[in-house]
Each structure stands twice: as structure tokens, then as C-alpha cells.
Amino acid sequence: MIAHLRGKLIDKQPGQAIVEAGGVGYDVAISVPTFTMLPGVGAEASLHIHTQVTDDAISLFGFHDREEKRLFERLITVSGVGPKLAIKMLSGLQPERAVQAIRAQDHAQLTRIPGVGKKLAERLVVELKDKLDDFAVAPVPTGVKGAAVDDVLSALVNLGYQRPAAEKAIEQAVSKDAALAGDFDRLFRGALKVIR
């Protein structure tokens, strides 16, 4: 089983990376957050790997950090969640937000993920709510809360900004105009102005 892969990044796109290691190009399925964290093509890349073996294929699923891989492996234990859907889920919702949604039994948040319906959201909560205690959940910026704030924070982190800098930028943007906290587009633009 392949557990880790390091080598030259031959190609990358949302959902897929090809990493050459030892003269072999490995095709790895990745989440969008992992895609955003990968270096440019030609640079050395390092991925934590989950190897899935079926009757007709050996598939590799890669993750930038170990926590995302651990969450992926918990997700695929749920009936009805295969590796491809789990990657889609991690692309649609940051790992911390997914953990928070499952712990809080927030079915509405989970059903926003493409491929996750009401029944699957309920199953995720029932089967995982008590199995995610070992996952750290990042705090929401102090004094600034809401779905738009969470989405802007997720977007900034996916763009490569450090989480503390993104949180501070959001807080500063909201301190200038409190109405931004409920408007994703305006808050995103405001936070970008501050963080640049």
C-alpha cells in the first residue's frame, strides 16, 4: 500500500495531480483544497496517500495534510460514501467546517455539498457525530460570525492565504463596515483589500 508520495509534480488540476516518483507517474485524485496547496508544475510535491484497491483498479487519493486524509478515511466508513464522493465532500466543504457540521447535526450545511442529499446527511451525522472527537475545530474569528464569514475564510485559505491572516483581514473588513458580515461578495472583496 502506498501511504505517502513525494516527487516532481508533472500536472495538476482541480481533482487530479500527476506526481513522478522513481520514474513512474502516479495519477492521484485530490480535493480542491489540496489542489490549491500544491506547488507549481515542475516543483517537488508531497502528498499523504490513501490507496483504494478494488477488483478492477488501484486508485490513489492524495491529501496535502494528514488531518484531511484522516477525515477522508472516516467519511468512507459511512454507508453510501465512496472515495470519489468523499473527495467531492472535502472539495465542497473545508474539513473543519465538515467536522463542525457533523458534530452540530447541521443537515442543511451538509446537503449544500454536491452529491449529498438529506438521507446521506442524516446518515453522516448518525454514524460519525461521536467518532470525530479527535479532530480539532478551528475557532470562528472572535466577534465575527455567520455563513458568509465562514465561506470567505474558507475561500481565502483555499487561495493560499494563512488562516490567521485571513481571520484578521475579515475582522478588519467587518470593523470598517458591519454590514459586510452578511454579504459574501462584499466581505470577500473587503477582506482581499486588507490582506494584500
Is the pTM of the predicted complex or chain greater than 0.95? no
Last residue of a domain, one of 14, 36, 63: 63
Check whether residue 54 and residue 96 sit in a common domain: no
CATH of the domain at 11: 2.40.50.140
Under the banding of pLDDT at 50, 70 and 90, the label for residue 145 is: low
Per the domain annotation, does 36 fall within a domain?
yes
Per the domain annotation, does 27 fall within a domain?
yes
Integer Cα distance of 88 and 99 in angstroms: 15
Under the banding of pLDDT at 50, 70 and 90, the label for residue 140 is: very low
Which carries the bigger pLDDT value, residue 27 or residue 159? 27
Check whether residue 45 and residue 12 sit in a common domain: yes
Integer Cα distance of 152 and 166 in angstroms: 9
Whether residue 161 is predicted with pLDDT greater than 60 in this model: the reply is yes
Per the domain annotation, does 183 fall within a domain?
yes
Per the domain annotation, does 141 fall within a domain?
no
pLDDT score of 137: 57
Cβ-count burial 96-122 (b if 16+ within 10 Å, e if not): bbbbbbbbeebbebbbebeebeeebbe
Q: What's the number of domains the chain is made of? A: 3
* Stretch 86-113: mean pLDDT: 87
- Taking all residues of the chain, what is their mean pLDDT, rounded to a whole number? 88
* Stretch 82-97: mean pLDDT: 89
CATH of the domain at 105: 1.10.150.20
Structural domain boundaries enclosing 181 = 147-195
Per the domain annotation, does 140 fall within a domain?
no
Whether residue 141 is predicted with pLDDT greater than 60 in this model: the reply is no
Q: Is 49 helix (H, G, I), strand (E, B) or coil?
A: strand
Residues sharing a CB contact under 8 Å with residue 76, sequence separation 6 or more, in sequence order: 82, 83, 86
Under the banding of pLDDT at 50, 70 and 90, the label for residue 18 is: very high
Q: What is the pLDDT of residues 38-72, one digit of tens each?
A: 999 999 999 999 999 999 999 999 999 999 999 99
Per the domain annotation, does 167 fall within a domain?
yes
